[in-house]
Structure 1
Amino acid sequence: MGAGDLSAALWQERRQLELLLFRLETQRLHVLAGNLKWLGFTASEMESVLDRMRFEALARSVESAAVAAEWGLPAQAPLVGLVAGAPPGAWPEVLQDHLEGLRELLRQLGDAARANEDTLRRVDRQPAAGASGETDTAGDLDHLTTAGNIERAMAVTRRTTQPLLENYLDGTLD
């Protein structure tokens, strides 16, 4: 274990954030195109990424604690603390690059999640297609299924925030 392993873990976490961002943007594009039938799939894909991110966060925590101990820092030192406490050489710059990259990905992720929620809310308020007051069991079932998929997509979208990662980056929760 060492700084190289921490850097690799941070790269993996960045990759998962990029994948989550891609999934969010894909979901929004499907909704905007009226492809609501794919909401169940897009929500499942985002859940899979979120599950992998939990593993990546654990791996990063282990590597970070090992590097902190090696550098004489507290085990729970945030990334900004590791940058400041890194020995002279390449590691301060490498870790600073990770810090900036992760912050930017979190900003983009927040923007994408807000855009998705807004888009999903607008779709959720639209009346069911062909709502004429007549009894249409199949149409009602389709509408309920779509409404359920929209609710699931909104719930998953809300889970995309990464407060623990934000805390690790800066040592604070806003």
Structure 2
Amino acid sequence: MSASDLSAALWQERRQLELLLFRLETQRLHVDAGNLEWLNFMASEVETVLDRLRFEALARSVESAAVAAEWGLPAQTTLVELISAAPAGPWPEILGEHLDALRGLLARLGEAARVNEQALRALPLRGRPGPAGTAGLLDQLTTAGNLERSLAVVRRTSQPLLAQYLGMERD
């Protein structure tokens, strides 16, 4: 029963990673189109998905620890180790499919974050023409602040604990 709960948790995490990828791709499209007035909203959208991902990662950790205990393994067992120790039946294949899909999503997310960071850093904010006076300065400062927030959020999209769980990186 707990292996099916783990599989469900992995599905939920995959869904949130897909949504994160979608949000990053949407952000890049807006940045490429020069829609800088949406920087703050795009950063909020990415942050919302990151918040949900934290919850999904916790749920996955709980379910994974339960399966590990059921299969006689330590609680901090990676998904690769769970697959190796899985009893005969469908679980090695099902968990292996999750492993492949999650690794693929993490690779795509890493590339999307890299491209977004480059696009955000390439924005020519300083020499940008704007309204004269205090309102123009305020607009420039707001855009610069939104840009910094967007960069910070993009940098937070890496999922090191998930990568470790998938056997992609070690401490």
Is 1:69 the counterpart of 2:69? The answer is yes
TM-score normalised per structure 2: 0.95
CA positional deviation for 1:98: 0.4
% identical aligned pairs: 69
CA shift at 1:173, angstroms? 2.7
SS at match of 1:44: helix
- Cα distance in 2, alignment partners of residues 173 and 127 from structure 1: 44
How far does the alpha carbon of each residue in 1:21-73 deviate from its partner, in whole angstroms, 9 at most, with x for none? 00001011011111111111110011111011111000000000000111111
The CA deviation at 1:130 is 4.5
- Counterpart of 1:170 in 2: which secondary structure? coil
**Aligned-partner residue type, residue 39 of structure 1:** L
1:117 corresponding residue in structure 2: 117
TM-score (norm 1): 0.94
Structure 1 position 171, deviation (Å):
6.9
Residue 160 in 1 paired to residue 157 in 2? yes
Report the aligned-residue RMSD.
Answer: 1.5
| Aligned residues between the structures | 171
The reply to whether residue 17 of structure 1 matches residue 17 of structure 2 is yes
1:122-162 C-alpha deviation (Å, 9 max, x unpaired): 0055522249xxx6211111111111001000000000000
After TM superposition, the runs of 4+ consecutive aligned structure 1 residues lying more than 3 A away are none
Hey, what's the Cα distance between the residues in 2 that align with 1:61 and 1:38?
35
* 1:173 counterpart = 2:159: no
Q: Which runs of 5+ in 1 are unaligned?
A: none
